[in-house]
Amino acid sequence: MNRQNTAYDQKKIKAQIENKEILQKRHEQIVEAVGSLFSKKGYQDTSVRDIAAALNMNISSLYKYVSSKNDVLFLFYRKIHQYWTEMLFATTEKEDDDPADQLKDLIRTGLEICFKMKDEILTIFCEARHLEKDSLHIVLSAENAFIESIERLIKRGIKSGQFKPKDTYLTANIIQYMLMIYPLRSWSFKDRYTFDQILQVVTDFILNALGVEPKEQPLR
């Protein structure tokens, strides 16, 4: 189990239902239902009644599975963030692979997720201020675990002579931010760029920043 999963395990959602299988299934249904609500109305303007209605249940039934609306927000963060980091940890933690190739895979995977889950990714950026203090701490701890994973990849690239950044931690943070450029800037991009165009520019930008020498093309 990676560190971001451990961070999320620190908090248990208080619920009247004790059956873990039923509770997990209902939590997944809650997250699926609130995704569109949060993206359209925002967390603050989404009421508990709205959430219950989206699940076709009354408010008292909803409170059998969560103790507050903020629990719902935390569940949303946990689901989206765990999906994001689990996919990308699988890319960064392959220590026997070529670091430059790993980084390219990381960039592609990250951008693919952001194209697929644009609204959800944007929501977790916009609504973090509404998380309770303990929930925010867990989210930030999980996020930092992934940043450290990118940093380890960069250090492997430095050791192999491929990467040349001066500050590995700041570089890892910049790469994380660049992976999310599409949901954060899609209002500006509109239909101007295809996925492949964004992928190429972001990949070239990051590799150039790391000082990666372009591979020589074979002679024909």
pLDDT at residue 220 in the model: 42
DSSP state letters, the chain: --HHHHHHTT-----S---HHHHHHHHHHHHHHHHHHHHHH-TTT--HHHHHHHTTS-HHHHTTT-SSHHHHHHHHHHHHHHHHHHHHHHHHT-TTS-HHHHHHHHHHHHHHHHHHTHHHHHHHHHSGGGS-HHHHHHHHHHHHHHHHHHHHHHHHHHHTTS---S-HHHHHHHHHHHHTHHHHHHHHHTTS--HHHHHHHHHHHHHHHTTPPPPPPPP-
pLDDT at position 219 over 50:
no
Across all residues in the chain, what is the average pLDDT? 88
pLDDT at position 105 over 60:
yes
Q: How far apart are the first and last CA of the chain?
A: 47
In a domain, 23, yes or no: no
In a domain, 185, yes or no: yes
Q: Which of 123, 157, 152 is nearest to 38 (CA)?
A: 123
Q: Report pLDDT digits (tens) over 164-189.
A: 999 999 999 999 999 999 999 999 98
In a domain, 47, yes or no: no
Number of domains in the chain: 1
Q: Model confidence at 37, in pLDDT bands (50, 70, 90)?
A: very high
In a domain, 215, yes or no: no
Range of the domain at 126: 3-12+69-209
Q: Report pLDDT digits (tens) over 4-34.
A: 556 677 678 889 998 999 999 999 999 999 9
In a domain, 126, yes or no: yes
Largest CA distance in the chain: 72
The CATH number of the domain where 124 resides is what? 1.10.357.10
In a domain, 108, yes or no: yes
Q: Six-digit token pair at 17?
A: 């239902």
In a domain, 154, yes or no: yes
Note whether 30 and 75 are within 8 A (CB). yes
Note whether 57 and 118 are within 8 A (CB). no
In a domain, 186, yes or no: yes
Neighbours of 38 (CB within 10 A): 25
